[in-house]
Structure 1
Amino acid sequence: MKKLIPIFILLFMLSCSKDNELDIPGTINPNSDQVQTQDFMWKAMNFWYFWQADVTDLADDRFQDSETYTAFLASESDPGAFFDNKLLFTEDRFSFYNEDYRVLTQSLAGISKSNGLEFGLVRKRDSEDVFGYVRYIIPNSDAATKTIKRGDLFTGVNGQTLNINNYISLLFSDNDTYTLNMADFVNNDVVQNDVEVTLTKQEALAENPVFLAKSFEINGIKIGYLMYNQFTNEYDDDLYDAIADLKIAGISEFIIDLRYNPGGSVNTTRLLASMIYDTNTSNLFLRKRYNDKVQVQLSTSQLEVYFADKVGSRTITSLDLSKLYVLTSASSASASELLINSLEPYIDVVHIGDVTRGKNEFSTTLVDDRDNSYLYTPSRTNNINSNNEWAIQPLLGRNENADGFSDFTSGLVPDIELKEDYGNLGIIGDIDEPLLARALQEIIGATGKRDFTVKNPIELLSSSKMYSPFKDKMIDDTHYNSTVSFQ
């Protein structure tokens, strides 16, 4: 597995020492068993958090003596509750934590404990009942060996009907095995049948995000299609190969399907944008904006990220497109939105589908490595405090495109709105699948030949990916050398 690269591929050179962190008079010993995790969380958030200036308890002058500071740390015995209740800004929807940094970092690499079933959840009309619909099956998973497929519906787990109050405990508990009670779509209603499917999670299931890449020719136009389900830097070579094959196929139009892509690596997003548009390294891809503490310590070159001309040692041969068709849903988030936003100044992005999630902040993994600015660095795992394996994934900033735009907290609105229909999901990559068919109609200029009325629009309640450790994160892993210090 490739290394996960933290916020700046560093070497960060600290001016602080363990005995003088953040200048809190008489700061407690960070190895104190009772509050060492809370101490790590506060200090890391005080320096890095995007909204540090907006959280009263993160102010530099909040604590005047060690007794007051220690009492604050001890006010929540559970570090998770301390993080959620004491450190987060009210508008923050996405910062999170994990008790084990290994679990968190593996999830960012596309590795998790999973049965391989990816699904969405919908609340029934005028009811508290909930049903699920299968989006896709991860290859080589337990679900791939069972009789279950995209478009299948389920209404219960272990004989209990799903509802707004129990779906989390039934579907996302620590139980490795559960049985789904399947359903049919009958007379515009989801009705349970007698079919049951038992699924078991497996350790370290790796999902290749390049789910499907293909090309086809319609009316003499060669069109490429890619369903891409996570911006995971471990699979950059697979992404490179998929785009290179489409280039060889001679495509002149390209549809990228990001409906189920919750985000991921900023650098992978930059690489994909370069493969699609251009490899001119003078073209600005994004500009970063941190809190004032961090921002003033970084130069313009460290805040600006440009298009790329290589993936590792491999030269990118761009598709050189002037137009891109992007398919989205309410689950398309963070790096998926970044791709759209950062390409907008350069090419015509035709956005088809549903309004995206609205995740316009980036994050990185912070651990209790005090000699490394708390930044998780794979080569330094031996330097992480062995008595504190917690990791936090706070929001650190926002990425602006070349036009200075980053304000899409409410999501990116499609040019052509077309929600998925749980009664007619279609087959991924099939030219009759509704969203793909709508993009093809736009490309070939055909009109009036198909009715795209959505009879059963998906109003998403949640999805399986929202309960994975990865969730909907945009991970800042662009490459810099920098000197950053606690001040």
Structure 2
Amino acid sequence: MKNCLHSKLSFLFFALSLISCESTDGPITYKENSNEYVNDWMYNQMKRYYLWNNAIKNQGNLALNPKEYFKTLLQSEDIYSYALHPEKPETAPQSLRNKFGFDVSFIAFEGKYYGVILYVLEDSPAKNNGLQRGQFITHVDGTELKLENYDKLYTAMTAETQLDLKLISYSAQLGFSNPVSVSLLRGFTFSQPITYQVIEDKNTKIGYVNIPHFDVGQAQLYLQLFQELKSVSITELVLDLRYNGGGDISSAAALSIILAPNIKAEDLFIKFEGNQNGGNVDQSFAEALKSNEFSVSFDALRNSHPSINKVYILCGKCTASASELIINNLKPYMEVITIGEKTFGKDVAGFPIADDRNPAKRGWVLYPSIYKLFNARHEGNYSKGINPEIYLNELQQPEVYLLGNRSETLLQGALNNISGNTNKIKTETVQSLPLSAISTDIDPLLQITP
């Protein structure tokens, strides 16, 4: 009887132990829409897809705000990955370009300090209120720019929904003139036009093309544009990517197919290297094109290739992502001459991961770095930027010309190189000022199709 009772008690203890283990080790469920519910999902997605997933050791504090929690999962070197909620605008990356439609840099000139308008998007709040490349900002929200405050003012500008600016124009002929006050309200700016022209210099026809962004569906635009440039028999090409922060890989592939001489559809264009889950993926020119561009064929793009064997690319600190991909991945197939300043340094790509557990409600979207990028010769690792072949600071002089003007510093540098003119650009008379904050005008994610 004792043995029987002992056996029953032992079995009961064993059963209770099993129940206890099951309740401890089983999946934990969280209340929907709670921080824990969102962050647990974030953690699992990052452990699967993130390039540096092995560096994520544990879940950490799931009670944190999701935006802050996501940051705890990132490698210190990763400044590109981000998370946003489509119904919470404050979670999206903030920049002057996506809020107001312009880019700015800062200079010292004749003992005073200015913000220089460098790039203005078409049909943006900035453009619609009269902002132009080359104007100087003297005051922001009533505060005069000075050495001790320009950096903080820039950071404050990126966080505002309204800007009150005082501006003044400058030319070598007139000096300072036309002071104006402008009030900008945050607004939307949509796809930007690609501009191009033909420059004739000493019987040489040079195509100049400015591409502001790499959008899905641009292959048809490239086709039409380069058919026209080919029809007028250009023999040199200047590609302006200094304010192109990136975009879609298939769009960049479409342009590369047109530019590179003597390539075949099966030639290797790009190498993706991911974690142990994603592995490595190689894509030919044709495969990269078809990943997101369906309206134009490889052969049609090749037929619009002009008679060029090299390309001059104007670049700078806002040249990033897909623009850097163009520079790096064309090098195995043609001469690439970069002119300007060091590029931003974004050598990773990924795809958006949406929380679609509740189809009736939009959830968080992750944009993690998933792949490192390399060209056909396995050249890459430009996370600190690509150094230009010819270094030129576009802010050499206080007069800043419109893009495409032959007197504009970087374009003039390209034309001089093409013509063999060794005359140097005029000595700098302005001092460029650094910014401590990392620009968020760059596309945080170079997009690929999963």
Q: Same fold (TM over 0.5)?
A: yes
1:106 and 1:305, CA in 2 relative to 1: closer, same or farther beyond 3 A? farther
State the AA in 2 paired with 1:121. S
Question: Is the 8 Å Cα contact of residues 321 and 443 (structure 2) preserved in structure 1?
Answer: no
Q: Which amino acid aligns with 2:52?
A: W
Structure 1 distance, partners of 2:90, 2:239, is: 27
Matched position secondary structure for 1:245: helix
Q: Could you tell me whether the CA contact under 8 Å between 1:352 and 1:439 is conserved in 2?
A: yes
Q: Which residue of the partner structure matches residue 412 of structure 2? A: 437
Query: 1:124 Cα deviation (Å)?
Result: 5.1
Cα distance in structure 2, aligned partners of 1:231 and 1:199: 27
User: Which residue identity does 2:223 align to in structure 1?
Assistant: Y
Question: Partners in 2 of 1:250 and 1:358 — Cα distance?
Answer: 34
- State the partner residue of 2:273: 289
* Distance of aligned partners of 1:385 and 1:48 in 2 relative to their CA distance in 1, 3 Å threshold: farther
1:259-408 counterparts in 2 under 5 A? 259-278=242-261, 280-295=264-279, 302-307=281-286, 312-314=294-296, 315-316=300-301, 317=303, 318-319=305-306, 321-369=308-356, 384=359, 386=361, 389-408=363-382
1:378 aligns with none
Aligned to 1:475: 447
Rounded to whole Å, the distance in 1 between the matches of 2:323 and 2:384 is: 14
Cα shift readout 1:277-298 (whole Å, capped 9, x = no counterpart): 1451121111110011211xx6
| Per-residue Cα deviation, 1:232-265 (whole angstroms, up to 9, x for no partner) | 1143332332222212221111000111111111
* Matched residue, 2:16: none
Residue aligning to 2:139: 156
Instruction: Figure out how many residues of one structure are paired with residues of the other and give that number.
Output: 408
- Is the 8 Å Cα contact of residues 179 and 199 (structure 1) preserved in structure 2? yes
Where does residue 11 of structure 1 map in the other structure?
A: none
Q: Equivalents in 2 of 1:79, 1:415: separation in Å? A: 43
CA-to-aligned-CA distance 1:177-216 (integer Å, 9 cap, x gap): 32112246699xx99995311222333x213251x21112
Higher relative contact order, chain-length normalized (CA < 8 Å, sep 6+): 1
Change (3 A) 1:223 1:292: same
Note the C-alpha offset of 1:384: 4.6
Specify the code of the residue in structure 1 equivalent to 2:294: G
AA at the equivalent of 1:306: F
Name the Cα RMSD after superposition. Answer: 3.4
Distance 1:202 1:186, change over 3 A: closer
The offset of 1:385, in angstroms, is 6.6
TM-score relative to the length of structure 2: 0.81
Structure 2 contact 332–375 (Cα < 8 Å) conserved:
yes
The structural deviation recorded for 1:229 is 1.2
TM-score (norm 1): 0.75
User: Structure 1 residue aligned with 2:68, among 81, 90, 93?
Assistant: 81
- The answer as to whether partners of 1:420 and 1:454 remain within 8 angstroms in 2 is no
**Structure-2 residue corresponding to 1:64:** none
1:54 aligns with 2:40: no
Q: Contact 1:130/1:167 (CA < 8 Å) preserved in 2?
A: no
Task: Give the aligned partner of residue 199 of structure 2.
Answer: 216
Q: How far, CA to CA, are the matches of 1:196 and 1:219 in structure 2?
A: 43
Question: Partner letter of residue 80 of structure 1?
Answer: K
Amino acid at match of 2:336: V
Gap regions ≥5 residues in structure 1 = 1-23, 58-68, 371-382, 481-487
Deviation at 1:352, TM superposition (A): 0.7
| Percent of aligned pairs sharing the same letter | 26
Task: Tell me the residue number matched to 2:186.
Answer: 201
Question: How far apart in 2 are the matches of 1:274 and 1:230?
Answer: 17
Deviation at 1:267, TM superposition (A): 1.1
Partner secondary structure for residue 287 of structure 1: strand
User: For the Cα contact (< 8 Å) 1:208–1:235, is it kept in 2?
Assistant: no
Q: Structure 2: how far apart are the matches of 1:368 and 1:309?
A: 28
Pick closer, same or farther for the CA change 1:182–1:239 going to 2, 3 Å: same
> Which has more radius of gyration?
2
Query: 1:443 & 1:186 partners in 2: Cα distance?
Result: 27
Q: Write the letter of the residue equivalent to 1:29.
A: T
AA partner of residue 142 (structure 2): G
Alignment match, 2:82: 96
Contact 2:108 2:432 in 1 (8 A): no
Supply the distance in 2 between the matched residues of 1:37 and 1:201 (Cα, whole angstroms): 30
Alignment correspondent of 2:11: none
Verify: 1:238 aligned to 2:236, yes or no: no
C-alpha contact (below 8 Å) 2:339/2:391 kept by paired residues: yes
The structural deviation recorded for 1:459 is 4.7
SS at match of 2:183: strand
- Give the match's secondary structure for 1:45: helix
CA 1:151–1:257: 2 relative to 1, 3 Å: same
Match of 2:284, SS state, is: strand
